[in-house]
Chain A
Amino acid sequence: MVTTLHHILANSIVLLALKLGILLLLLPATLVVGYVELKVMAHMQHRLGPMYAGAYHGWAQTLADGLKFIQKEDIMAAATDRTVFSMVPYITMLGAALTFVVIPFSRHGVIANLDIGLFYALAVSSISVIGVLAAGWASANKYSLMGGLRAAAQLIAYELPLVLAAAAVAMQAGSLSLVSIAEAQRYVPFALWAQPLGFLIFLAAATAEVSRTPFDMPVAEAEIITGAFTEYSAMKFAFGLFAAEYIAMIGMSALAATLFLGGYVPLLPQLRFVPGPVWFLIKTGLLIFLLIWIRWTFPRLREDQLQKFAWKVLIPLSLVNIFVTGALKLAHWT
């Protein structure tokens, strides 16, 4: 029976369908995360949030929002660079979704277990910024351009601490493959042992990467009207901004869960009977909730404050973290 199952799974077409299914699940996942965010934000403000769409506690609210966006007229201003403008949602979605190629849902449930999975994940997650910058440029709107430039400037701040924090994890695990990194945390996640500082640095940098408060200067509704996406409407807005933002958030949470919380690996040996994907979803969900929680607690920083924070605090700390990690490794292994 088990062998038959393995045979079926080994069938490349079935496997491809399954892997495509994971990517296709991302859109419903954004609806779920969006709904959770609406509810959490509402309750943090003593409100109820959506209560009507779908009859039970407004569960279908984000679905209704999505359908509304699909029905809307797609407006493009006369001066926009139409080709670039239309390409942007693809680029931002692509950058956000490609991370999931290397993220393991279970030991074998990974679309591609690349040897350089971590490197790949960090590389593709930066693609979205190109889309945001292109959106700002193509919109022929000063607010949009400002937003695009802010996104590009922000990249300079968060990318280095993000990579350095991840590098310490790779040193600790001795591998760049995300499956190996998860396996290296069997029963003791890095966040609790060896890399707690790296975990905090990574979370701060990841918040900046996905442009969420307190580092949401590129979209800053109150200042530059959603930044690069001021001129976007209808489906382009829904996909280029909302879906991309939430997929990127899920992706970064999943990456952080894998790097620092052990991903699909159970937290306790006694809990091994709980399947890996469940662990993965619990850990990712916790980090997503943390990001939402942070968003509705802290106010927005300024761009220069982020730069100062990243270059004067995060990067030195992550270098110290790498040094300590290396020293400990040497002390243990030699």
Chain B
Amino acid sequence: MNDESKLKKATFGTGLLKGLGITMRHMVSKAVTVQYPDEIAPLPPRSRGVIALKEENCTMCMLCARECPDWCIYIEGHKERRESRGEGKRAKAFNVLDRFAIDYALCMYCGICVEVCPYDALFWSPEFEYAEGDITRLTHEMERLEDWMRTVLPPSPLDDGAKGPEIKSAAPVVPAPAAAPAAAAPAPVETAPGPPPAAGRPAGMSEAEFVEQRAAAGRLVRQKVYEEEIAKGSEPRIAEARSKAAEMRARKATLPETEPAPPVTPAPAPSRPAAGMSAADAAAVRRKVYEEEIAKGSDPRIAEARSKAAELRARKGTKGPGG
């Protein structure tokens, strides 16, 4: 009908008909609407729906409450004294959390509290169906916040080759000081044993190495379980949760018996693409490089850095001990 308006245009433009064509094409194509309460669109597994509290990790440091731009986090608590536990030990004071509440009527879901929490006590959960008819009920108290932990996903698996979180051990792996060139032996650095060694830790392996190996083994277990779950047809979220649980079990358990890592040449390892040296070998490489650097007269810090790099190169694509 508006084809007349085309007459004004010198070109007899087809714009109007083109527009009609577009709307017609859209009309006959499928609507994108998801009928929410009846069907639920698949959310990304790490959607930020609600903030969950892991109460036992909270130390009442108040960082979240202070950083919250909306001041919607309420923390109350009190100090308790713990009597001295034995001869010569001090009595200690510690914090007890009485109330932790988030007012979701105020919250703007910026997630700063989750970011800022130094003790992993706050997490994002993908739950979002907690609308209320009464605004006061949007203040979730501790029980409810803890309840959201049910659906909190474990942290994502690390990227290949990425270092896990720093785990502070009493005996950091420091290459033997320059004054100890004889330290070519496999286990020279256990000067301060610190906490009793974890079960299954083989002699000749530092605490940090052991932790790293366990983590690597755990990552393998996790990937395997994840793939199995996906193959079984589980949802990605469920597969991820189950594989995480499997990893945790694997990490808690002692290392697989395959560990010992004799100081021989690295196995060719045909199954995995990147065949790196075993951790023990790599540590040996590190020490060697360190000594060379020191011998060249490098600054100890530089020597440490270069030796570490050499070790990482040696271990690149580290396969788990069980692999």
Contacts and interface: CB of A to CB of B under 8 A. Distances in A.
Interface stretch (B29-37, B109-117, B120-128): B29-37
Contacts of B2: 204, 207, 214, 294, 298
A298 B2 CA distance: 9
Given A293-B24, A313-B4, A48 B33 contact: yes
A128 to B, nearest CB: 20
A200 B1 contact: yes
A47 interface: yes
Contacts of A203: 1
A309 B7 CA distance: 10
B301 interface: no
Contact of A204 (B4, B23, B33, B35): B4
A313 B2 CA distance: 11
Contact of A296 (B4, B23, B31, B35): B23
Give the most central of A44, A309, A317: most B CB within 10 Å: A44
Given A297-B19, A297-B22, A298-B16, A290 B27 contact: no
Contacts of A313: 4-5, 7-8
Contacts of A207: 1-2
Contacts, number: 61
A89 to B, nearest CB: 29
Contacts of A43: 26-28, 31
B93 interface: no
Given A43-B26, A293-B20, A48 B4 contact: no
A3 interface: no
Q: Helix, strand, loop or mixed for chain A's interface?
A: helix
A45 interface: yes
A45 B26 contact: yes
B37 to A, nearest CB: 10
Given A297-B20, A298-B16, A201 B4 contact: yes
Interface string A290-325: 100110111000000000010001100100000000
A290 to B, nearest CB: 7
A297 B2 CA distance: 11
Contacts of B22: 297
B3 A44 contact: no
Contacts of B35: 48, 51
Interface size class of A (residues with CB under 8 A): 20 to 34
Contacts of B32: 46-47
Most B CB contacts (10 A, CB to CB) among A40, A298, A309 go to A298
A204 B3 CA distance: 9
A42 interface: yes
A40 B27 contact: yes
Interface in B16-68: 16, 19-20, 22-24, 26-33, 35
Contacts of B7: 313, 317
A46 B22 CA distance: 12
Contacts of A309: 4-5, 8
Interface string A100-140: 00000000000000000000000000000000000000000
Nearest to A40: B27
B211 to A, nearest CB: 53
Contacts of A46: 26, 29-33
A295 to B, nearest CB: 10
Contacts of A47: 31-33
B7 to A, nearest CB: 6
Interface string B248-273: 00000000000000000000000000
B317 to A, nearest CB: 47
Nearest to B19: A297
A42 B31 contact: yes
A200 B1 CA distance: 5
B319 to A, nearest CB: 49
Nearest to A207: B1
A184 B191 CA distance: 112
B11 to A, nearest CB: 15
A297 B26 CA distance: 11
A201 B1 CA distance: 7
A313 B30 CA distance: 39
Contacts of B26: 43-46
Contacts of B5: 204, 309, 313
A317 B5 CA distance: 11
Contacts of B4: 200-201, 204, 309, 313-314, 317
Contact of B27 (A44, A294, A314): A44
A294 B31 contact: no
Interface in A247-305: 290, 293-294, 296-298
A317 B20 CA distance: 23
26 contacts: A40-B27, A43-B27, A43-B28, A44-B24, A44-B26, A46-B30, A46-B33, A47-B33, A48-B33, A201-B4, A204-B2, A204-B4, A204-B5, A207-B1, A214-B2, A290-B1, A294-B2, A297-B19, A297-B20, A298-B16, A309-B5, A309-B8, A313-B7, A313-B8, A317-B4, A317-B7
Interface of A: 40, 42-48, 51, 200-201, 203-204, 207, 214, 290, 293-294, 296-298, 309, 313-314, 317
